[in-house]
Structure 1
Amino acid sequence: MSVQTFLPAALWSGKQFVGQWQDGRILREVREPATGRALGQVAMASPEQIAASAARAAHVQRAWANAGHEVRARVLRRAAVLAETHSGEIVDWLVREGGSTRLKAGSELKVVVRVLHEATALPSRAVGEVLPSQPGRLSLARRRPLGVVGVISPFNFPLYLALRAVAPALALGNAVVLKPDPRTAVCGGLVIARLFELAGLPEGVLHVLPGDGAAGAALCRDPHVRMIQFTGSTAAGRKVGETAGQHLKKVSLELGGKNTLIILDDADIDLAVANTAWGAYLHQGQICMATGRVLVQRGLYAAFVEKLVARAKQLKVGDPAQEDVALGPLINAQQRDHAIGIVNAARAAGATLAAGGTFRDLFFAPTVLADVGRDNPAFGEEIFGPVAVVVPFDSDDEAVELANDTPYGLSMGVITANVGRALKLGERLHTGLLHINDQTVNDEVLNPFGGVGISGNGTSIGGPANLDEFTQWQWLTIKADAPAYPL
């Protein structure tokens, strides 16, 4: 690991960030999934600490909102520069704590820098509109910060999926309480705390509190928190939505997916295999947009499976901190056991295990399940592991029917030589994200990101959606004199 100049262990180990570094009472070891080695300890937040931070954030939020757009933009610009300056150390944390390959970690860091740069433009965006009204009255609609935004972020793209909410929320004048996943509390939480501390964010505007489900529930209930932005599993998202809804909070839920890549019979087979391998095996398949099933038209099916199996067998699996590998470890044994459980159930239900299906410790071999039918567990369940589920189909109508046979609706892709054919097919697909001649794992920061069905609650985050997501409208009217009403 590189020499620590940005986030030395003496600064963060055993501590939490509440605008300043504070000793914690409940400590959890930070472990390297590839080796099991301890990297330090993070302080876990109790519900009482969540409440104290939310109250403190609410107290200082108005001053931050009133600081002016140039002040807020300046802090975000500094954070972006710091992220680039210390990219080596930040990438090391993503590799060691998160199990990322260096390719994935480097790509995540680049996207994070772009998120910060894009957020610098939000403070100076127009904050409202002048509405038509009666003569003598000025009618305005203006955007105002929500107040305190609670962010609950996952382990898989820990830095990006936290910052894509934290950065725009801060830019638009909100305070933030971030609860990162405890499994990636450093690279998905304390790195963010350090970036904004060094960038000059006023004390108390950002709090970073790793915690368990009780801490998350406390954040969803707290009266000082006006919005929850959650990224994670659908099961956890239901609980977050229920609790936050009971307390009348705005809720943004970015949840799971069983994402489909459709390979039409006019596709270039080698490009189709390359897209499938990237979508299914990137970050060991631990991505909400991962290519969860591949529908291949019958004319290409046999050759496609053969080539995909060959590709899977060539991919190197190992410790990304020690060697150049295509796949690193899964995040923990629970995730590994979930993946192998679905693979075994799929085989029992008639699927062909064409490659992989084995593991060593947390290292899971790239797997190909072929001949998967609609009644097979692998067809419908989100695996979150490096498993390509390959399904044959005959007609375009059947492809649409199979692709839509899921309660999820996050991302889909179509590979074809005929864009017009893909557009017609795409009009019938139930998905929040659609990529023609690309695989399912795509996010470019500027785009509104959100799913349909049980992949979300109809909200989007990113790009033009951020203004709506992290502000609320206020209607303001002005008259020269108060009217004399007749009653």
Structure 2
Amino acid sequence: MSTTAHSLDRLIDESVFAGRIYLDGEWIEGGGGEIASIEPATGETLAMVGVASAADVARAAEGAARAQREWAATPHPVRAGVLRRAGQLWEQHAEEIMGWNVREVGAIPPLAGFALHVTAAECYEASALPSAPLGQVLSSEEPRISLAEQVPVGVVGVISPFNVPLILGIRAVAPALALGNAVLLKPDPRTVITGGVSMVRIFEEAGLPAGLLQLVPGGAEVGEAMVSDPRVRVIAFTGSTRAGRAVGELAGRHLKRAHLELGGNSAFLVRADADVDQAVNLATWGAFLHQGQICMTVGRHIVHESLFDAYVEKLAAKAESMVVGDPAAGQVHLGPLIDEVQRDRVHTLVQDAVAQGAELRAGGTYEGLFYRPTVLANTPRDAAAYCDEVFGPVASVVSYSTDDEAVELASATDYGLSLGIVSKDALGALDLARRIPTGIVHINDQTVNDEANAPFGGTGSSGTGSRHGGVQANVDAFTETRWITLRREPGQYPL
């Protein structure tokens, strides 16, 4: 089989992509060699994937810039059609892609299915962008027509993480393409197949012209080359706050925009009038879904003192009842953490918190990469498991007595991504939310939510406040504003 042919039965054919990257419509050997894609649940090698080099990034940027000019001039119904077909293909090949998501990422099937749903929805939403109004008629003090026009930036660099690679890649890739840009995509090296190969194949089958989506997997060297390349004008980065700071600093040095969606340590406030069982149901999802490897995960459970004991007892009982295991082998609640480095970090945070005085009420143990859902009660406020992003299935529960104290506790963080509040008084909860700086608020819900048409982003150490989602947010993210004036006759000036 040639490197450009594909099986009729499968979307993702290892014999085609194995050990290769995707440049200008062809699968070629990457300058960075190849690495194994490892199934975290079993340690099995799923396939070999190609790794790009800095030289590959330069070639990709050159090809993307060349292809983008014609794409931007393509009639908007054609661009919209590619995005609609992409959405249909995500649905058509959902079972196959879910299989990779479960095995390569460690997602349980319900989460893998949700990721496919959102990914298709992102493409359908993006298909409306090519025909969206892309400008304004401005008032002018001169006898002329004055316009503000939104034009494609050119080439967009997308850097996506390992945890939910489909959603966190497509939410930038789809709108950027729809608005007439080309994209360089750098997925996390641990999830190249789910977060990179599947995306390339979907858009290839959807009819996207060659060169408009370039796949350049790799580590820091590849990311630095992408951010530094003068042909890449906007960076859309999702990842840790530490890495995001480095990306933002480098982008600023090169005078380009960086949309940074970073870490979180979201608060979940349970008010005195809340139903404990309902709150625990929400908290279980918010704290333990996908092993806590979600930026919006509930990290800090801030519970009114009158409900604290019952809440801790019921959350701990729920945690103890949950099944942890290989999501590809049977029905489980939690799958594996992504690798040993992450597992050891999570365990160290839990052990240190207990040493500082936190009460271990559930979990705190692991087998292989399978970490038990963990509940810590009365975690010291300066313990890293409470005040930092854990990125594991760890719930720290503290109590409060007054609304002012709840606001103080929820606000006492550098992060500002998502906030959940449970109360029978929804308007009172909204009043509290307005006093707590976050980019997202969910009243009578937990913190992990995502819809393709809704703006998404955080404040503080959770990001630059830029948004993905919705027409205006995506237009702002992936276009430049150009001022245009037209006179009937040339103007006259006194000099």
Alignment partner, residue 15 of structure 1:
20
Asked if 1:225 corresponds to 2:232, the answer is yes
Alignment partner, residue 4 of structure 2:
none
Secondary structure (helix, strand or coil) at the match of 2:47 reads strand
Compute the displacement of 1:462 (Å).
1.1
2:477 to 449, 469, 476: 469
Structure 2 Cα separation of the partners of residues 424 and 243 of structure 1:
39
Asked if 1:100 corresponds to 2:107, the answer is yes
Asked if 1:63 corresponds to 2:70, the answer is yes
Structure 2 Cα separation of the partners of residues 17 and 122 of structure 1:
26
Alignment partner, residue 44 of structure 1:
51
Structure 2 Cα separation of the partners of residues 298 and 4 of structure 1:
58
Compute the displacement of 1:371 (Å).
1.1
Structure 1 Cα separation of the partners of residues 225 and 297 of structure 2:
31
Residues 297-312 of structure 1: pairs in structure 2 closer than 5 A: 297-312=304-319
Secondary structure (helix, strand or coil) at the match of 1:139 reads strand
Residues 189-200 of structure 1: pairs in structure 2 closer than 5 A: 189-200=196-207
Structure 1 Cα separation of the partners of residues 382 and 60 of structure 2:
48
One-letter amino acid of the counterpart of residue 489, structure 2: D
Alignment partner, residue 403 of structure 2:
396
Does the 8 Å CA contact 2:30/2:56 hold for their aligned counterparts?
no
TM-score (normalised: structure 1): 0.98
1:74 to 58, 69, 81: 81
2:463 to 456, 465, 469: 456
Alignment partner, residue 434 of structure 1:
441
Percent identity for Structure 1 against Structure 2: 52
Asked if 1:447 corresponds to 2:454, the answer is yes
Secondary structure (helix, strand or coil) at the match of 2:461 reads helix
Alignment partner, residue 360 of structure 1:
367
Residues 177-216 of structure 1: pairs in structure 2 closer than 5 A: 177-216=184-223
Structure 2 Cα separation of the partners of residues 309 and 458 of structure 1:
35
> CA-to-partner distance for each residue in 1:212-242, whole Å, 9 max, x for gaps?
1010000010011001000000000000001
Does the 8 Å CA contact 2:62/2:231 hold for their aligned counterparts?
yes
One-letter amino acid of the counterpart of residue 20, structure 2: K
One-letter amino acid of the counterpart of residue 16, structure 2: L
Asked if 1:333 corresponds to 2:334, the answer is no
One-letter amino acid of the counterpart of residue 447, structure 1: A
One-letter amino acid of the counterpart of residue 11, structure 2: F
Compute the displacement of 1:461 (Å).
1.2
Alignment partner, residue 494 of structure 2:
486
Asked if 1:5 corresponds to 2:10, the answer is yes
> CA-to-partner distance for each residue in 1:368-421, whole Å, 9 max, x for gaps?
001113122222011000011101111111110000000110011100111122
Question: Which deviates the most, 106-115 or 19-28?
Answer: 19-28
Residues 83-94 of structure 1: pairs in structure 2 closer than 5 A: 83-94=90-101
Does the 8 Å CA contact 1:350/1:376 hold for their aligned counterparts?
no
Does the 8 Å CA contact 1:156/1:287 hold for their aligned counterparts?
yes
Runs (4+) off by over 3 Å: none
Unaligned runs of 5+ in 2: 1-7
Secondary structure (helix, strand or coil) at the match of 1:194 reads helix
Asked if 1:256 corresponds to 2:255, the answer is no
Asked if 1:168 corresponds to 2:182, the answer is no
Does the 8 Å CA contact 2:146/2:483 hold for their aligned counterparts?
yes
Structure 1 Cα separation of the partners of residues 382 and 9 of structure 2:
51
Secondary structure (helix, strand or coil) at the match of 2:336 reads coil
> CA-to-partner distance for each residue in 1:446-486, whole Å, 9 max, x for gaps?
11111111110121111131110111100000112212322
Compute the displacement of 1:4 (Å).
5.8
One-letter amino acid of the counterpart of residue 466, structure 1: N
Structure 1 Cα separation of the partners of residues 390 and 491 of structure 2:
64
Change over 3 Å in CA distance of 1:301–1:191 after alignment to 2: same
Secondary structure (helix, strand or coil) at the match of 2:415 reads coil
Structure 1 Cα separation of the partners of residues 186 and 215 of structure 2:
6
Residues 406-421 of structure 1: pairs in structure 2 closer than 5 A: 406-421=413-428
Asked if 1:313 corresponds to 2:315, the answer is no
Does the 8 Å CA contact 1:298/1:393 hold for their aligned counterparts?
yes
Compute the displacement of 1:136 (Å).
3.3
How many residues are matched? 486
Compute the displacement of 1:194 (Å).
0.3
One-letter amino acid of the counterpart of residue 423, structure 1: L
1:54 to 61, 66, 73: 61
Compute the displacement of 1:135 (Å).
5.7
> CA-to-partner distance for each residue in 1:342-368, whole Å, 9 max, x for gaps?
000100100000000000110000100
Asked if 1:273 corresponds to 2:280, the answer is yes
Does the 8 Å CA contact 2:353/2:380 hold for their aligned counterparts?
no
Secondary structure (helix, strand or coil) at the match of 1:5 reads coil
Structure 2 Cα separation of the partners of residues 376 and 74 of structure 1:
51
Does the 8 Å CA contact 2:415/2:461 hold for their aligned counterparts?
yes
Alignment partner, residue 124 of structure 1:
131
Does the 8 Å CA contact 1:4/1:89 hold for their aligned counterparts?
no
Does the 8 Å CA contact 1:148/1:174 hold for their aligned counterparts?
yes
Does the 8 Å CA contact 1:115/1:445 hold for their aligned counterparts?
yes
One-letter amino acid of the counterpart of residue 458, structure 1: G
One-letter amino acid of the counterpart of residue 21, structure 1: W
